[in-house]
């Protein structure tokens, strides 16, 4: 599965550095059959990780590889366990094929939610090619480097009471409680976040999704880390409830630039650890 063999909705950049960026939630595409069953396209796109691909477009300067899907997370969430097992038992979350928004609003017209057969079909059509691409890129990079890092890129609104209390820290680092990433890499990310003066946390509400947990194998030289950003750091996020008139707001490069600078330091710090002869492993 190379080049033209990738489906049109799967965007790939092959770089040479030991860094792979994954973007499972930036997509907004809704197949017609799915859109027809929804209450509204806006509601289905409400929880998109808006503009994350633009926020990290400097990754090309680092010669990082990128795997990104254009498919909306409402169609299928490529960062959920395909078996359907909850990543956060006992806490509110969304499923492999979500039927509610983060705020608990129903996505589908009653009776038109995806059944087991439809979920399986979406898994084969969208989930599997996305993860096949990730596995292939990691394999390619591991042939070139002793250590590689999968950096999973995410963002979320700063206030979602159903998912977490209060205001989310600006930087939410997830390493599956340290199991998916060597401490030297985690420390490099933490240091860059701390230097920004903005609030950050490691393995707080977000400990890393399926991608981080599945591919992070530090003992084998494959590290994985999730970065969940609060949207307010790079978007003029509405202070109150969001609606179709105020969300998503536009992307302002000048407004986003300070956070982009921090993220450059984050990824640069990771590369310094990966390139050093004393790299983990």
d(CA 64, CA 151): 10
What pLDDT was estimated at residue 280? Answer: 75
Phi, psi values for residue 246, rounded to 5°: -125, 0
Instruction: Tell me how far apart the alpha carbons of residues 54 and 185 are, in angstroms, rounded to a whole number.
Output: 24
Q: pLDDT digits over 224-253, tens only?
A: 999 999 999 999 999 889 999 999 999 999
- Give a three-class secondary structure readout of the chain: CCHHHCCCCEEEECCCCCEEEEECCCECECCHHHHCCECCHHHHHCCCCCCHHHHCHHHHHHCCEEEEECEECCCCCCCCCCCCCCCCCCCCCCCCCCCECCCCCECECCCCCCCHHHHHHHHHHHHHHHHHHHHHHHHHHHHHCCCEEEEEEEEECCCCCCCCCCCCCCEEEECCCCCCCCHHHHHHHHHHHHHCCCCEEECCCCCCCHHHHHHCEHHHCEEEEEEEEEHHHCCCCCCCCCCCCCCCCCCCHHHHHHHHHHHHHHHHHHHHHHHCCCCCC
140-171 per-position pLDDT tens digit: 999 999 999 999 999 999 999 999 999 999 99
Pair 226, 146: CB distance under 8 Å: no
Beta strands 10-13 and 65-69 are: antiparallel
Structure confidence by residue, pLDDT tens digits, 66-125: 999 999 999 999 999 998 776 766 666 778 999 999 999 999 999 999 999 999 999 999
- At 168, phi and psi to the nearest 5? -70, 140
Q: 276: pLDDT confidence band, cut at 50, 70 and 90? A: confident
What is the CB-side half-sphere exposure of residue 206 using CA atoms within 13 A?
A: 29
Q: Would you tell me the crossing angle of helices 253-275 and 183-195 to the nearest 10 degrees?
A: 150
Specify the pLDDT at position 278. 64
CB-side neighbour CA atoms (13 Å) of 78: 29
The four Cα atoms 25, 30, 35, 41 give a dihedral, to 10 degrees, of: 60
* Domain ranges for the chain: 3-275
pLDDT for the residue numbered 266: 98
Task: Show the tokens assigned to 139.
Answer: 């394999």
- Please name the CATH architecture into which domain 3-275 falls: 3-Layer(aba) Sandwich (3.40)
């Amino acid at each position: 599965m190379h080049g033209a063999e990738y489906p049109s909705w799967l965007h790939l950049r092959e770089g040479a550095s030991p860094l792979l960026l994954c973007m499972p939630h930036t997509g907004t595409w809704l197949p017609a059959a799915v859109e027809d069953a929804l209450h509204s396209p806006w509601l289905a796109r409400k929880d998109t990780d808006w503009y994350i691909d633009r926020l990290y477009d400097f990754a090309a300067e680092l010669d990082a590889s990128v795997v990104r899907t254009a498919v909306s997370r409402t169609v299928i969430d490529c960062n959920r366990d395909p078996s359907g097992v909850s990543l956060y038992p006992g806490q509110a979350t969304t499923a492999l094929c979500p039927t509610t928004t983060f705020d608990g609003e129903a996505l589908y017209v009653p009776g038109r939610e995806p059944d087991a057969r439809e979920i399986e079909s979406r898994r084969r059509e969208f989930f599997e090619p996305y993860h096949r691409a990730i596995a292939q890129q990691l394999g390619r990079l591991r042939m070139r480097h002793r250590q590689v890092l999968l950096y999973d890129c995410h963002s979320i609104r700063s206030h979602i009471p159903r998912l977490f209390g209060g205001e989310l820290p600006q930087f939410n680092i997830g390493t599956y409680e340290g199991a998916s990433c060597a401490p030297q890499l985690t420390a490099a990310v933490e240091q860059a976040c701390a230097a920004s003066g903005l609030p950050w946390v490691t393995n707080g509400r977000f400990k890393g999704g399926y991608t981080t947990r599945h591919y992070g194998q530090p003992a084998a030289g494959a590290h994985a880390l999730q970065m969940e950003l609060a949207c307010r750091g790079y978007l003029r996020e509405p202070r109150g409830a969001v609606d179709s008139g105020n969300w998503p707001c536009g992307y302002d490069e000048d407004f986003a630039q300070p956070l982009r600078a921090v993220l450059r330091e984050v990824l640069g710090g990771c590369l310094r650890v990966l390139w050093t002869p004393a790299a983990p492993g």
